[in-house]
C-alpha cells in the first residue's frame, strides 16, 4: 500500500502542470458560467388589438406564473467536477497503460493511401499491429484490384528489396511497410481499368484480415 501511495504521489509531482491546467480550466469555466447567468424574464403576454371595448367580465390573457429556472450554480459545479474527474481518470489510465489493457484484444490491419509528390505514384502504407495476448504469424500480404465484380490479386513477395514474410508479431508489436501500386499498373496489362484497391493478409491460423476497398482516384494526401 505504501508503495502505491508513493507511486501515485510521484505521478502527481511529475504531471502537476497538466493537472493544474485541467483544474484551472474547470475553475475558469465555473467563473464564466456564473458571470453569464442573467435573470430570465418571463415573456410578456401577446395582446390582440381590438376596436371595441371588451366586456368587463372578459378574462385578461393568462400568464403562466411557473417559469423554467436555469440550473443553479451547484449543478454547474457538479458537472464541471465530473468532467474534470473523467479527464484526470483518462489521463492517469493512459499514463499507467490501463487504457491499453481495456482496449479490445484484436489485430489492427490498416492501410493509408498517398500520392508520391515527385512521381505521382499511388503508395499504400500498411500497418499491421498485434494487440492480442498471443503471438501471431502472418503470411505474405495480397494486393487486390477490383473492377465491379471482377478481382485480380497479387501476392507481395518483395517489399523494398526484402521479403519480411512470413512474419511473427508478439503481443503489442507491429510492422509497417509501403507498397507502390503504380508498379502493378505499369507492368500488368489491362490493370489500369481496375481502379479500386484492397489489401489482404492471412495468418497461419487461417484468419484473413482485409482493409476497406479504396478508389485510387480518391487519394489526396501526399508523401515525399
Question: Hey, what domains does the chain have and what are their CATH numbers?
Answer: 1-36+72-103 (no CATH), 107-223 (2.60.40.10)
Other CB atoms within 10 A of residue 199 CB: 23
pLDDT at 40: 47
Spatial CA neighbour of 164 closest among 134, 126, 133, 132: 126
Question: Helices 16-36 and 2-14, interaxial angle, to 10°?
Answer: 70
Q: How far is CA 201 from CA 77, 78, 100, 110, 159, in A?
A: 51, 49, 24, 11, 14
Spatial CA neighbour of 91 closest among 189, 8, 15: 15
pLDDT at 42: 47
Q: Mean pLDDT in runs of 10 for the chain (224 residues)?
A: 61 66 69 56 48 49 53 64 75 63 78 93 94 93 95 91 90 93 94 95 93 92 86
Spatial CA neighbour of 214 closest among 123, 116, 118, 121: 123
Amino acid at each position: 500500500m505504501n508503495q502505491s501511495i508513493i507511486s501515485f504521489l510521484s505521478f502527481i509531482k511529475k504531471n502537476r502542470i497538466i493537472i493544474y491546467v485541467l483544474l484551472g480550466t474547470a475553475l475558469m469555466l465555473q467563473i464564466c458560467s456564473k458571470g453569464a447567468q442573467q435573470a430570465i424574464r418571463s415573456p410578456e403576454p401577446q395582446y390582440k388589438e381590438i376596436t371595441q371595448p371588451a366586456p368587463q367580465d372578459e378574462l385578461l390573457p393568462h400568464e403562466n406564473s411557473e417559469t423554467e429556472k436555469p440550473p443553479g450554480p451547484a449543478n454547474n459545479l457538479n458537472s464541471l467536477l465530473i468532467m474534470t474527474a473523467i479527464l484526470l481518470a483518462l489521463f492517469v489510465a493512459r499514463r499507467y497503460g490501463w487504457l491499453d489493457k481495456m482496449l479490445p484484444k484484436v489485430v489492427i490491419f490498416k492501410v493509408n493511401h498517398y500520392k508520391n509528390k515527385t512521381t505521382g505514384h499511388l503508395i499504400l502504407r500498411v500497418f499491421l499491429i498485434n494487440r492480442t495476448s498471443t503471438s501471431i504469424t502472418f503470411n505474405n500480404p495480397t494486393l487486390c484490384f477490383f473492377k465491379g465484380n471482377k478481382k485480380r490479386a497479387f501476392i507481395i513477395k518483395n517489399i523494398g528489396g526484402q521479403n519480411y514474410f512470413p512474419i511473427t508479431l508478439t503481443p503489442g508489436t507491429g510492422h509497417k511497410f509501403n507498397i507502390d501500386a503504380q508498379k502493378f499498373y505499369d507492368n500488368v496489362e489491362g490493370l489500369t481499368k481496375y481502379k479500386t484497391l484492397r489489401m489482404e493478409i492471412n495468418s497461419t491460423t487461417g484468419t484473413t484480415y482485409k482493409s476497406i476497398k479504396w478508389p485510387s482516384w480518391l487519394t489526396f494526401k501526399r508523401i515525399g
